């Protein structure tokens, strides 16, 4: 297994993938995409970093300031320049350890930032736009497409600050927009360009990259950016990247120079690992600067890594710390940085398996220090939160868009049909259905199972032979343990129909509806409302 080390260099959390044997004198820095593309590509780029390390190259993945688990906020006016500075600090740190060449793999906008840093001896530009202006145009088009999944937003929603761009729930500050708009790549060293599928390397990009340019039509960008459930590393692109890496001499690099924690205003964060059957779970503890009064555990939202949908878990954790509450946001197996399957494959059985519940319990037990514990989750993370609350003392469970409280045939069919119906709101995904990447037969079977189960349930109720409903049963178990269950559902989400079908009105928990948002709470204006629900005192209105 590839050794991985987590530390902070400047504002950025970095993950170093170290070779098992001798290290080559060339180090590699993976510069991921920005925004929602970073969410999708996270797990496959981890796989790529392992492959690079297996070839003997020390490989570092960077979490951008303003994204993931690093410092900074997306709306900071200077965040783009700080992202560029983060690359310079990482490259300088590697050279200080004795590496004679530092090469960057820049994915999409990460390539633009890698060029702007002027910190690298060679570049691999994978799906990199020809300019920041073109990238902004693509992000605006993506947001128009993503917004089709939103229901009608409330009229009193706060407006974005002037000059700010939203793209699928992620924000670019006015300063970032200005900086990107003026950004055009230019580089003199060796460069490999891998264009996006269906496109060719633009002449203006090649002209700006000098004479040492190799173009390989390996594609792989669409696979990388599919979505967090299905994104994967394309073998042709992987092989093109590995074939470009240079440097042969072996040596022993100097010690890493990063810090073990990150400090902000009222909080301290540090990476932690938790043993599990698959190897290790990976999380971030966010601690108050005073003795904590309680803990909150934040579970993965489906295939999204521990920073949460649109970085909500990171933002909520830092608010909690300012209130004196410690938190752990954690990757369960197969997701983010945790061990398990190399790539998240959208397998509902795995996401809702007893093994994943076991991981959720291990995360809970990691923080159990005699203090009250709250749990938070969205989608499969909501399922894990309920399962934990049924087996451990939990003060409050906040569950967003929970499509399954127990895993049975009804939940399977509900999960598949709702997952596909949400996807079809995105025009890019109709192609998946037509080309077989979304299993139309499985969808049809799921709908038939739903119809059969509903018919059988109706007959059983009419005959008086219906047994206890498993969803109702587990929610009664949670209530009997004294847990406050806070159910939050996006208006129009199938999670509401699922709850209403299974739990009588008299025993149904109160539901907070959020209008104008999709399943993953993407509109930026809704993030503050979600954070308020997570961070409000238990029982507060």
User: What whole-number percentage of the chain has pLDDT above 70?
Assistant: 88
Pair (148, 212) in one structural domain? yes
Pair (226, 95) in one structural domain? yes
Pair (225, 271) in one structural domain? no
Of 212, 246, 280, the domain-final residue: 246
- Here the tokens at position 533 are 């629900």
The residue ranking higher by pLDDT, 271 or 245, is 271
118 within a domain of the structure (yes/no): yes
Give per-residue pLDDT as tens, 513-530.
999 898 999 899 999 999
In angstroms, the Cα distances linking 488 to 255, 339, 409, 417 are: 47, 30, 24, 20
Residue 144: per-residue pLDDT: 87
Pair (482, 525) in one structural domain? yes
Pair (338, 482) in one structural domain? yes
- Once rounded to an integer, what is the mean pLDDT over residues 26-41? 96
Residue 133: per-residue pLDDT: 95
Name the β-bridge partners of 486.
Answer: 398
529 within a domain of the structure (yes/no): yes
Give per-residue pLDDT as tens, 187-213.
888 999 999 988 877 777 788 887 788
Pair (290, 377) in one structural domain? yes
Angle between the N-to-C axes of helices 79-96 and 109-117, in degrees from 0 to 180, rounded to the nearest 10: 60
Alpha-carbon gap, residue 91 to 8, rounded angstroms: 13
Pair (324, 283) in one structural domain? yes
479 within a domain of the structure (yes/no): yes
* Closest to 241 in 3D by CA, of 29, 24, 13, 5: 29
Q: Report whether pLDDT(481) > 60.
A: yes
Pair (321, 225) in one structural domain? no
Q: Report whether pLDDT(465) > 90.
A: no
Contact indicator for 37, 227 with CB cutoff of 8 Å: no
- Once rounded to an integer, what is the mean pLDDT over residues 114-136? 95
279 within a domain of the structure (yes/no): yes
Give per-residue pLDDT as tens, 403-417.
999 988 777 766 555
Pair (87, 150) in one structural domain? yes
Looking at every residue in the chain, the average pLDDT score rounds to: 88
Alpha-carbon gap, residue 453 to 410, rounded angstroms: 7
Would you list the DSSP string of 421-469?
HHHTTSGGGHHHHHHTSS-HHHHHHHHHHHHHHHHHHHHHHHHT-----
- Here the tokens at position 117 are 């840093």
Lowest-confidence segment of 225-229, 246-250, 432-436, 454-458 by average pLDDT = 432-436
Alpha-carbon gap, residue 377 to 530, rounded angstroms: 11
Q: Report whether pLDDT(177) > 80.
A: yes
Give per-residue pLDDT as tens, 482-497.
999 999 999 989 899 8
Contact indicator for 409, 449 with CB cutoff of 8 Å: yes
* Helix, strand, or coil (residue 143): helix
Give per-residue pLDDT as tens, 329-379.
999 999 999 999 887 656 677 888 999 999 999 999 999 879 999 999 999
Pair (45, 144) in one structural domain? yes
Alpha-carbon gap, residue 506 to 231, rounded angstroms: 42
Domain count, the chain: 2
Pair (313, 360) in one structural domain? yes
- pTM of the prediction? 0.89
Alpha-carbon gap, residue 428 to 145, rounded angstroms: 9
436 within a domain of the structure (yes/no): no
74 within a domain of the structure (yes/no): yes
Name the β-bridge partners of 276.
Answer: 279
Phi and psi torsions of 166, nearest 5°: -105, 135
- Once rounded to an integer, what is the mean pLDDT over residues 499-523? 91
Pair (220, 344) in one structural domain? no
Alpha-carbon gap, residue 133 to 117, rounded angstroms: 18
- Strand 23-24, strand 59-62: pairing: unpaired
509 within a domain of the structure (yes/no): yes
* Closest to 530 in 3D by CA, of 312, 322, 374: 312
Which residues does 43 contact at the CB level (< 8 Å), separation at least 6? 228, 231, 303, 305, 335, 336, 342, 343, 344
Range of the domain at 476: 264-407+468-535
Q: Which CATH number covers residue 511?
A: 3.40.50.1820
Burial per residue of 87-100, b for 16 or more beta-carbon CB atoms within 10 angstroms, e otherwise: bebbbebbeebebe
Q: Which residue's entry shows tokens 């970085």?
A: 311
- Strand 26-31, strand 279-288: pairing: unpaired
CA dihedral over 222, 223, 228, 229, signed as positive or negative: positive
């Amino acid at each position: 297994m590839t050794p991985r080390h987590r530390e902070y260099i400047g504002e950025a959390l970095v993950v170093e993938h170290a070779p098992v044997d001798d290290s080559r004198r060339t180090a590699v820095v993976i510069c991921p995409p920005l925004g929602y593309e970073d969410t999708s590509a996270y797990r496959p780029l981890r796989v790529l970093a392992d492959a690079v390390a297996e070839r003997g190259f020390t490989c570092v993945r960077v979490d951008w300031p303003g994204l993931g688990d690093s410092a900074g906020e997306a709306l900071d006016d200077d965040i783009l320049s700080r992202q560029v500075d983060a690359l310079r600090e990482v490259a300088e740190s590697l050279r200080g350890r004795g590496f004679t060449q530092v090469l960057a793999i820049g994915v999409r906008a990460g390539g633009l930032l890698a060029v702007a840093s002027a910190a690298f001896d060679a570049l691999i530009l994978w799906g990199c736009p020809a300019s920041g202006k073109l990238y902004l145009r693509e992000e605006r088009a993506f947001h128009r497409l993503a917004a089709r999944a939103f229901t009608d937003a409330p009229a009193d929603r706060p407006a974005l600050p002037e000059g700010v761009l939203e793209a699928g729930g992620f924000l670019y500050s006015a300063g970032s927009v200005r900086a990107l708009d003026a950004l055009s790549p230019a580089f003199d060293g060796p460069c490999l360009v891998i264009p996006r599928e269906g496109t060719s390397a633009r002449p203006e990009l090649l002209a700006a990259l000098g004479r040492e340019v190799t173009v390989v039509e390996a594609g792989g960008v669409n696979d990388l950016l599919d979505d967090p459930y299905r994104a994967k590393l394309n073998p042709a692109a992987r092989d093109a990247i590995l074939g470009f890496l240079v440097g042969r001499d072996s040596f022993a690099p100097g010690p890493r120079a990063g810090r073990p924690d990150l400090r902000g205003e009222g909080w301290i964060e540090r990476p932690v690992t938790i043993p599990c059957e698959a190897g290790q779970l990976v999380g971030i503890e966010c601690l108050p600067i005073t003795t904590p009064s309680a803990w909150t555990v934040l579970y993965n939202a489906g295939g999204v890594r521990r920073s949460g949908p649109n970085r909500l878990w990171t933002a909520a954790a830092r608010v909690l710390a300012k209130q004196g509450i410690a938190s752990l946001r954690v990757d369960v197996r197969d997701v983010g940085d945790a061990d398990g399957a190399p790539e998240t494959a959208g397998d509902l059985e795995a996401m809702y398996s007893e093994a994943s519940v076991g991981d959720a319990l291990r995360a809970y037990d990691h923080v159990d220090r005699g203090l009250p514990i709250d749990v938070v989750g969205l989608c499969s993370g909501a399922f894990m939160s309920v399962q934990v609350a049924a087996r451990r003392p939990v003060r409050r469970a906040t569950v967003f868009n929970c499509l399954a409280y127990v895993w049975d045939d009804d939940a399977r069919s509900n999960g598949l049909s709702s997952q596909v119906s949400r996807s079809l709101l995105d025009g890019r995904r109709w192609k998946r259905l037509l080309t077989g990447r979304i299993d139309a037969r499985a969808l049809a079977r799921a709908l038939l199972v739903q119809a059969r189960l509903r018919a059988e349930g109706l007959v059983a109720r009419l005959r008086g032979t219906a047994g206890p409903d498993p969803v109702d049963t587990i929610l009664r178990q949670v209530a009997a343990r004294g847990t406050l269950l806070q159910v939050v559902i996006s208006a129009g989400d199938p999670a509401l129909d699922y709850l209403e079908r299974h739990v009588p009105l008299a025993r149904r928990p109160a539901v907070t509806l959020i209008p104008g948002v999709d399943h993953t709470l993407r509109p930026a204006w809704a993030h503050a409302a979600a954070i308020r629900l997570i961070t409000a005192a238990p029982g507060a209105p």
